[in-house]
Structure 1
Amino acid sequence: MTEFEKMIRGESFNGIDTDLRLRREAARLACAKFNAHPSKGNLRHITRLFAEFGSLVIEPGFQCDYGSQIHIGENVYINFHCVFLDSATIHIGDNVLIGPGAHLYTVDHPREANLRAAGECFSRPITVGNNVWIGGGAKILPGITIDDNAIIAANTVVTRNVQENERYFG
């Protein structure tokens, strides 16, 4: 089994594997093409990476690891300089606003230094419901679910699941 197959199955994987590094490089180049000359035409460089997407606006500065694990609903706005580390799936519902500099991290690393040094990684999915507003600079950690109508305050680190209609201030 390849490291990519392990990754998408939710198993531990080696993040410094050559194939995974090449896949991240391809995503980085696609993002760079859009970020250098943002337009609807150049947005296709990013959206062709995605597993699925509806109507969306992505402002320049967007970065993702692979793109292939990203699922985006309808009427989604992703502001400037957002980062989606998609070693596991990222599901974003409909009518979602994501503030500038927000980061969604599905990947994590072992707490043992020798395993980190060897490149071992693991990941857990992130799910963002419908009608969610994620404030600028927020960081969403691996395995988090944000239910419908929630608001995530700017510059917060989301360390637990957020309930429907909740206002999360960290």
Structure 2
Amino acid sequence: MNNPSHVELHKDSERILSSSLLTVKPEEGCALLLGKSIKAENLEGRNIFQIELVWPCCNIWSNSINADSERCYELNKTTLFKEGSRENRFLIDPIEQLLAQKWGRSKNLTVLGAAHSHPMGSTFPSQMDLSMNFSPNLMIIVNGNQKMRAWWLKSSYMIDSLEIPVVRKSGNHVF
């Protein structure tokens, strides 16, 4: 998947996304973003990501995962960070990812990316967000004030990350 020109949040997606991510505050909330990648003319061949459905997920971060990611983080030669917990880390359950993909295919939707909250932080990807990123993908981050930013993460280095405009649409829902 290539980076989109922008992300469109349809109907109540923005409200649902913010409320579901911040409901678990002070922990980081997480969700999958389902929708369609639409070819757009005059956008240099880039697509528009239309988010039609927010799939709230459980944050399954645990101490054993934290130990594994600490090693990954050191391998990437990035700066040290405070001890990880669900208050500053997230991990989406792979089973939920598979269920969302299967359900999405039955509705002609694709998992376009993921979202998570930084309840006490900014809307910028953290060093941990970047170090845990292994392939190009869409990441939306919502902070505790419900400010939202979308990012296209290419690799585990900030220099490759690109902020993507978010457009609110009020059109009909797909369902």
Question: What is the TM-score when the length of structure 2 is the normalising length?
Answer: 0.26
TM-score by length of 1: 0.26
